């Protein structure tokens, strides 16, 4: 086969793959930005409650900001519980409750472990440092959030102490139904895999075409 023709095929395949990968990871970045916007909105609501409770702006700026989330791992294979502190100071006596309980949300082989984890979180983590995130795996995302069945909405309640005493109780809902449509659930990697297979098939067809033209010449 003509080396120039082969080089052109490889370059075309690489260009197509590059565009598809950019599209997929652009979608992932957009989802991350949306999550950050939601977190910022919740932080603003929390700030309003703190001001109403008589917390000064200076004290408010130094409070921990605690959160919990249930999200697929980056490759979409596992559903993971994250609990973090995005504030500037240490949070203590961090109590996190889930309804339904974590054990009900986990795969069968992980339920005993999640029962113990739920009890420990309800009793309270001794402390959670600024920028720290803890993770627990509940099981396979495709099993726990199947495409053909309704997924639960999980009510999260967080209580903790900050440097100025008890923080306002934070209550919100994580709708796992929405995870089905997120790129983090694994569709992104599936799209890349399909794109690679498509490019490989097209390259094979081009190779056969160029070869047949060479044979006929």
- Verify that 93 and 180 share a domain, yes or no: yes
pTM of the model: 0.60
The confidence score (pLDDT) of residue 4 equals 60
What pLDDT digit, counting tens, does each position of 75-96 carry?
A: 778 999 999 999 999 999 999 9
The CATH number for 156's domain is: 2.60.40
One domain, residues 177 and 81: yes
Same domain, yes or no, for 74 and 153?
Answer: yes
Are 70 and 26 contained in the same domain?
A: no
- Residues 102 and 163 placed together within one structural domain of the fold: yes
The residue segments making up the domain with residue 208 are 1-61+186-217
30 in the same domain as 119: no
At residue 42, the pLDDT reads 65
Count structural domains, the chain.
2
In the chain (217 residues long), the average pLDDT of successive 10-residue segments reads 57 58 52 58 62 68 94 84 97 98 95 96 97 96 88 96 95 90 52 54 64 62
Q: Are residues 45 and 70 in the same domain?
A: no
Q: Which residues of 194-209 are buried (b: 16+ CB within 10 A; e: fewer)?
A: ebeeebeeebeebeee
Same domain, 71 and 128: yes
CA atoms of 90 and 78, how far apart (whole Å): 29
Residues 44 and 75 in one domain: no
Claim to verify: residue 174 and residue 154 sit in the same structural domain:
yes
Does residue 140 sit in the same domain as residue 48? no
Same domain (yes/no): 47, 154: no
Rg over CA atoms, the chain: 24
Nearest to 180, CA basis, from 31, 64, 24, 4: 31
């Amino acid at each position: 086969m003509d080396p120039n023709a082969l080089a052109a095929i490889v370059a075309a395949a690489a260009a197509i793959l590059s565009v598809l990968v950019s599209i997929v990871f652009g979608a992932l970045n957009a989802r991350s930005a949306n999550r950050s916007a939601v977190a910022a909105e919740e932080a603003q609501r929390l700030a309003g409650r703190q001001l109403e409770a008589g917390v000064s702006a200076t004290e408010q700026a130094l409070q921990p900001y605690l959160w919990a989330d249930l999200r697929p791992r980056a490759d979409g294979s596992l559903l993971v519980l994250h609990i973090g502190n995005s504030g500037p100071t240490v949070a203590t006596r961090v109590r996190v409750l889930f309804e339904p309980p974590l054990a009900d949300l986990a795969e069968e082989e992980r339920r005993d472990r999640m029962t113990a984890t739920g009890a420990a979180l309800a009793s309270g983590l001794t402390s959670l440092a600024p920028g720290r995130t803890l993770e627990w795996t509940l099981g396979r995302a495709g099993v726990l959030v199947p495409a053909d069945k309704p997924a639960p909405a999980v009510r999260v309640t967080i209580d903790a102490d900050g440097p100025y005493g008890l923080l306002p109780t934070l209550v919100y809902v994580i709708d796992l139904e929405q995870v089905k449509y997120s790129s983090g659930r694994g569709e992104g990697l599936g799209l890349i895999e399909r794109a690679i297979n498509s490019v490989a098939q097209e390259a094979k067809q081009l190779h056969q075409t160029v070869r047949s033209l060479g044979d006929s010449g």
